[in-house]
Amino acid sequence: MAPSAQPLTTSVPDEKYANVKWEDLGFGFVRTDNMYVAKCKHGENFQEGSIVPFADFHISPCAAVLHYGQGLYEGLKAYRTEDGRIIIFRPDQNGLRLQAGADRLCMPYPSVDQFVSAIKQVVLANKKWIPPPGKGTLYIRPILFGSGPILGSFPVPEYTFLVFACPVGRYHKDNSGLNLKIEDKVRRAFPSGTGGVKSITNYCPVWKTLAEAKAQGFSDVLFLDAATGKNVEELFASNIFIVKGNVVSTPQISGTILPGVTRKSIIELTRDFGYKVEERVIPVEDLLDSEEVFCTGTAAIVTTIASVTFKDKKSSFKTGEKSLAAKLFATLTDIQMGRVEDTKGWTVEIDRSHQG
């Protein structure tokens, strides 16, 4: 077993659940008890950080993250199983993606083992905030950013790696499927840019587009490629898949699309089901001509897309319990929540010595 997959135990007895109405849990910020913080000077490596009480973070007004957007984040979840275990899903993949993003943004980064250890520590330090089985998950948000002061010069003198967590419910609560708008003017990412990493600069620039779409009654926005404006790329925070016959297609990773951990997992599960999976350029016409469409992500998991509107033309797709998306959702969440044996080695058990 790899070091990062070893259970992390604690001598602290399980606490009772936090005072939360789990049935009302949405996907938003909920203040929890503790967070992890590690700092690193320029030219040095990250050392082990520490768990500290969750609190507002003091930062220089001239910090690189504030002036130049030098920052990125990850997202993953912890699950409480029916038999009392606590597990996380493929954290090493998030650690590797954080490293790729840090390299792109000229930042040092923790090792994968350090990353996974920080995740485990945050989960255990906020154990009472993990929802009961079936009531939600503990969403974990690692952040890496330039915290040192800088003005018009490089390098940045200090970097911070921080991890916090909060309980969440479903990201998309409408089980009937999403209604997407294909955005034909605004682009999310550009060739040689940062669309392929979780840079903090990727999201705010398209908030206005997303807000306008939601005001029109749409669930989310599907963005097209910047080079041609003819090929689909991804949603605001999700990868997209289309199904036609026995072929499932998803846009290829080319530097403008985020290499999602859920995306990677779904590709493997889909092939296990006997489908042919293609990672390729997908023209809008191919999407509109498909039989089924769904999106994937840590927050979205696997979410059915009921319709897509492109230039005022609405196309509808297969939904319901017999859809491939429904089958993939059930299979993936069974693994994530420990309801079936994890034959793929994707889950990491955090605390095997305590039942809670």
- Any idea which residues carry the catalytic annotation? 198
How many residues in the chain?
A: 356
Question: Apex CA 175: angle with CA 250 and CA 19, to 5°?
Answer: 115
Please tell me the distance from the alpha carbon of residue 177 to that of residue 284, in angstroms, as a whole number. Answer: 19
How are beta strands 158-168 and 178-183 bridged, if at all? unpaired
Q: Which residues pair with 179 in a beta bridge?
A: 307
Give the three-class secondary structure for 119. helix
Question: Apex CA 277: angle with CA 276 and CA 278, to 5°?
Answer: 120
Of 73, 91, 85, 75, nearest to 130 by C-alpha is: 85
Neighbours of 232 (CB within 10 A): 27
How far, CA to CA in Å, does 9 sit from each of 33, 121, 261, 354? 19, 9, 26, 8
Please tell me the distance from the alpha carbon of residue 118 to that of residue 282, in angstroms, as a whole number. Answer: 38
Stated as kind and residue range, the H or E segment containing 303 is: strand 301-310
Report helix, strand and coil shares of the chain as percent, to nearest 5. 25, 30, 45
- Contact 149/41 with Cβ under 8 angstroms? no
- The residues near 257 (Cβ < 8 Å, ≥ 6 apart) are 189, 195, 196, 233, 234, 239, 251
How are beta strands 178-183 and 220-224 bridged, if at all? parallel
CA dihedral sign, ordered 273, 274, 280, 282: negative
